[in-house]
Chain A
């Protein structure tokens, strides 16, 4: 799997490259600014681009803009955005730009390399990886929603993991329950929230995120 990285801090860029290589992912280019990222994705056509939100020269949301620009340059390019902090606002902007192949994670998540590379692979395959903190705040925001309030604690947990973009198998593993139990929970959640059930993982995630973000 081919990866392009855009991260301005050398230590992080280097560490990220080494970690991904150790997990068998091939880093074709590691750059430190937006224009270089655009050049690298058009030249290398990677499977996924990992981009830091803060990039020079303004060190504001340059990386986010570069990521969105890269996605218009190479349509459908999976993008995983990393940040020192997460904002629902940015999550929405990313989700609004095409369907699938979107990730938005706190930089802390690279400390758990197995889960992180798993998220990279998921995004590369066209899936979604939303940071648990984004999802926690989305759930908080929806706490006044009557349908969400009727969910059991276990169903809320499943809903959260589903919104992060995890598959049924991954949810089952995380909660130490069977996949059939997860399927039962998801069916119940979709019924309560009045959503169309779907076998397609990605469409399911987007429906849930759209519902919570209302």
Chain B
């Protein structure tokens, strides 16, 4: 990260007098390419419209023959979805180029293709058509194809046109560009224009180069209004995400409750029953066989100790007391102390995160550290906890043999799910041979630390 910042700084320092020229040339070229892309889209749109018009008028001159029906079928089944997908490809290319060249990243607004019953070609086609036609983003793509061509030509191609026109002015109007007429001593037809040719041409080239990057940025913004998701689509995507994470966290919660119920049933409850039975038997044997009664009492005590230890384990899994007592940083420090390898712990947390976020971060860190000691064969680990710009950040790094893959292990996927409920994210970098770096971020605010009386 810091390397990247340093590189950017160096780039800014290196800006020489020629950099704006090369930037301008690049921008003019990019603008030309984008304008070409817009034109291609417009051509596709015109072809589609022409095809559609032809199809509507088809019965008028071909009569009710089977050819007309076949053509119509072909058009609906192949041409419409095909060209719509083509337009999506073009729009997608424009989006990625706008991000790369104009510095305006554009999110993809399409709805995901719905899964559904029926695998026959017909139902598949129906589903595909409904998916394509019902998505407002499709119609906005079409609108962009129409509007983008005009605006694209003006905005994106203008710098290139200016530069080329300037160059042409200089080469065609200047007297030295016509050696024959200069040699014969005769001025070209417009001497005033010829005198002005060089400054005019230079001005046009300069204007083209200067405006290139700026117009490109404007074009990017324009493309975003049409190709980017609308606020409504944004909200719809957000609702989808929330529905998914909500149902996942409800599932996780329910599974957790079932686990706790099972643990209590098989553990502490069973021990308490055994204890009660042993006490009852001891009570009956007390007079006749004190020695046997004593043995049973010892057994009852053993049961109570085991029940306590199982309850302790259970509580630790639900909400570790040290987390409640001391907060995230100290609780993770306590985890680090229990690790069977050297853990360098560092934290800077000026307050307490909300309890649910704290708990999610704690269990995620706990799982990550357990992974390190189980799988990584690491000799050292580094754990860092920070908070800044509304984000709680936890990173766990180890010098082990790497190769951790969120797609394969259920553990990392589980952490992702847990964090997703808080809009948190997990990033794993674990090349074969290590090191493994896992970063997680949870958006949350910190409350000011409690002041204690002691």
Contacts and interface: CB of A to CB of B under 8 A. Distances in A.
A144 B325 contact: no
Interface in B298-317: 301, 304-305, 308-309, 312, 315-316
B330 interface: yes
A85 B316 contact: yes
Instruction: Give the dominant DSSP class at B's interface.
Output: helix
Contacts of A11: none
Contacts of A112: 301
A61 B325 contact: yes
Interface in A105-156: 107-108, 111-112, 137, 140-141, 143-144
Interface in A49-78: 54, 60-61, 65-66, 68-69
Contacts of A85: 312, 315-316, 321-322
B321 A65 contact: no
Interface in B316-349: 316, 321-322, 324-326, 330, 333-334, 337-342
Interface in A164-202: none
Contact of A34 (B312, B322, B454): B454
A202 B339 CA distance: 27
B340 A143 contact: yes
Interface of B: 301, 304-305, 308-309, 312, 315-316, 321-322, 324-326, 330, 333-334, 337-342, 379, 452, 454
B454 A87 contact: no
Contacts of B339: 141
Instruction: Give the dominant DSSP class at A's interface.
Output: helix
Contact of A141 (B304, B338, B452): B338
28 contacts: A34-B454, A54-B321, A60-B326, A61-B326, A65-B452, A65-B454, A66-B454, A69-B454, A84-B312, A84-B321, A85-B315, A85-B321, A87-B334, A89-B322, A89-B326, A89-B334, A90-B322, A92-B337, A108-B305, A111-B301, A111-B304, A141-B337, A141-B338, A141-B339, A141-B340, A144-B340, A144-B341, A144-B342
A42 interface: no
A102 B86 CA distance: 77
B399 to A, nearest CB: 13
Contacts of A65: 452, 454
Nearest to A90: B322
B454 A140 contact: no
Given A34-B454, A61-B326, A84-B321, A89 B305 contact: no
Contacts of A144: 340-342, 379
Nearest to B322: A87
Interface of A: 34, 54, 60-61, 65-66, 68-69, 84-85, 87-90, 92, 107-108, 111-112, 137, 140-141, 143-144
B139 to A, nearest CB: 58
A93 B83 CA distance: 71
B324 A60 contact: yes
* 9 tightest A-B CB contacts, nearest first: A60-B325, A65-B454, A61-B325, A89-B334, A88-B337, A69-B454, A108-B308, A87-B322, A143-B340
A62 to B, nearest CB: 8
A68 B312 CA distance: 25
Contacts of B301: 111-112
A143 B341 CA distance: 8
Contacts of B341: 144
B382 to A, nearest CB: 16
A65 B338 CA distance: 22
B338 A88 contact: yes
Nearest to B307: A108
Contacts of A108: 305, 308-309
A137 B334 CA distance: 11
A29 B232 CA distance: 68
A84 B322 CA distance: 11
Contacts of B309: 108
